[in-house]
């Protein structure tokens, strides 16, 4: 399995009381496909996977597979502190017809070594041996800053269905080394939206990110400019993306991004504790900031020029 282009790491869709609102999924999927994404990554960090029960995660996966209807890829995050629960999610993803599975390292009782991590991922991947499996590397969340090149060396012999890594870290030198391991044997998907252009420069062909859920056309144009050798133009658009991303650290990043979605006309509902939705005042501040940097104008111009 080789992925090209952008995969949108989608957000949760909740009612005001915190229950799932799956009625929003088809519209979100249609929007993403129309904007050119190649797939969706569900129940990960941005989808608040750790805040969901495994029954809810299964229900969400079913809703996405149905809404997508083979029009793009569906990657299901099955990571869980309990390997047994992760295996249940993997089996379910295979049963409903998802395209691939991914799992983050356990983040409470953490693997103690690369070997230990590989053994954990092998247990999860073996529950759906015919599905491509991507290890989800996100050390800023898990605290697992393990050598990913060594992971590939050890995992290739223990995880027959290992497709690659969802690489969400700023260590581009290691990312490049993983891309080139055994002449590019594995699919290494880049996970930091703000570093997409630098990742392209070292060989990235695909990326997974949260802001692709509401700004995919901008990033796709960055990729197009890069392929065409129009580096200055790519740099300028990447800077627009960075200016937008800078506001995410003002408050909690996921609630802030859901606010941006709401400001753009798609209210996906609140977040679950311990995440807290932005107040009306905070939403207004985000709105003013986006107006100052002309985010909507730039995005609209990119979309208009692509038509």
pLDDT, one tens digit per residue, over 5-25 is 999 999 999 999 999 999 999
Domain ranges of the chain: 5-226
Phi (first) and psi of residue 236, to 5 degrees:
-65, -45
pLDDT, one tens digit per residue, over 209-238 is 999 999 999 999 999 999 999 999 999 999
Q: Is 135 a catalytic residue?
A: no
Q: Is 136 a catalytic residue?
A: yes
Q: For residues 33, 64, 211 and 298, what is the CA-based torsion angle, rounded to 10 degrees?
A: 30
Q: Please, are residues 196 and 204 in contact by the beta-carbon 8 Å criterion?
A: yes
- Confidence class for position 1, pLDDT limits 50, 70, 90: confident
Q: With H, G, I as helix, E, B as strand and everything else as coil, classify residue 170.
A: coil
Number of helices (H) and strands (E) in the chain: give both, helices first: 13, 8
For the chain, what is the mean pLDDT? 96
64, 134, 135, 136: the active-site residue: 136
Q: Please, are residues 297 and 270 in contact by the beta-carbon 8 Å criterion?
A: no
Domain 5-226, second-level architecture: Alpha-Beta Barrel (3.20)
Phi (first) and psi of residue 253, to 5 degrees:
-60, -45
pLDDT, one tens digit per residue, over 154-177 is 999 999 999 999 999 999 999 999
Residue 144: per-residue pLDDT? 85
Q: Please, are residues 295 and 243 in contact by the beta-carbon 8 Å criterion?
A: yes
- Confidence class for position 278, pLDDT limits 50, 70, 90: very high
Distance of alpha carbon 165 from alpha carbon 192, whole angstroms: 13
Q: Please, are residues 13 and 25 in contact by the beta-carbon 8 Å criterion?
A: yes
Residue 224 burial (C-beta neighbours within 10 Å; 0-12, 13-18, 19+): middle
31, 88, 166, 258: the active-site residue: 166
Residue 145: per-residue pLDDT? 87
Task: State yes or no: 33 annotated in a binding site.
Answer: no
Distance of alpha carbon 123 from alpha carbon 13, whole angstroms: 30
Q: Is the pLDDT of residue 88 over 80?
A: yes
């Amino acid at each position: 399995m080789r992925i090209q282009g952008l995969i949108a790491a989608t957000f949760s869709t909740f009612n005001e009381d915190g229950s799932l609102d799956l009625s929003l999924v088809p519209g979100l999927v249609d929007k993403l496909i129309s904007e050119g994404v190649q797939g969706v990554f569900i129940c990960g960090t941005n989808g608040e996977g750790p805040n969901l029960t495994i029954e809810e995660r299964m229900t969400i996966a079913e809703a996405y597979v149905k809404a997508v209807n083979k029009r793009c890829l569906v990657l299901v995050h099955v990571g869980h502190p309990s390997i047994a629960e992760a295996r249940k999610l993997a089996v379910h993803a295979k049963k409903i017809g998802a395209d691939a599975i991914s799992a983050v390292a356990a983040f409470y009782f953490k693997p103690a070594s690369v070997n230990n991590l590989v053994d954990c991922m092998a247990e999860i991947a073996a529950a759906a041996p015919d599905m491509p499996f991507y290890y989800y590397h996100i050390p800023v969340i898990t605290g697992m800053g393990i050598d990913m090149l060594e992971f590939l060396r050890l995992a290739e012999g223990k995880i027959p269905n290992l497709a690659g890594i969802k690489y969400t870290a700023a260590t581009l030198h290691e990312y490049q080394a993983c891309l080139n391991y055994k002449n590019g044997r594995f699919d290494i998907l880049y996970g930091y939206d703000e570093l997409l252009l630098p990742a392209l420069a070292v060989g990235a062909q695909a990326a997974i990110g949260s802001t692709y859920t509401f700004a995919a056309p901008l990033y796709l144009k960055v990729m197009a400019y890069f392929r065409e050798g129009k580096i200055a133009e790519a740099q300028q658009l990447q800077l627009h993306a960075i200016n937008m991303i800078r506001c995410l650290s003002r408050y909690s990043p996921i609630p802030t991004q859901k606010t941006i979605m709401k400001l753009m006309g798609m209210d996906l509902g609140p977040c679950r504790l311990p995440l807290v939705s932005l107040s009306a005042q905070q939403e207004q501040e985000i709105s003013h900031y986006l107006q100052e940097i002309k985010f909507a104008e730039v995005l609209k111009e990119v979309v208009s020029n692509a038509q």
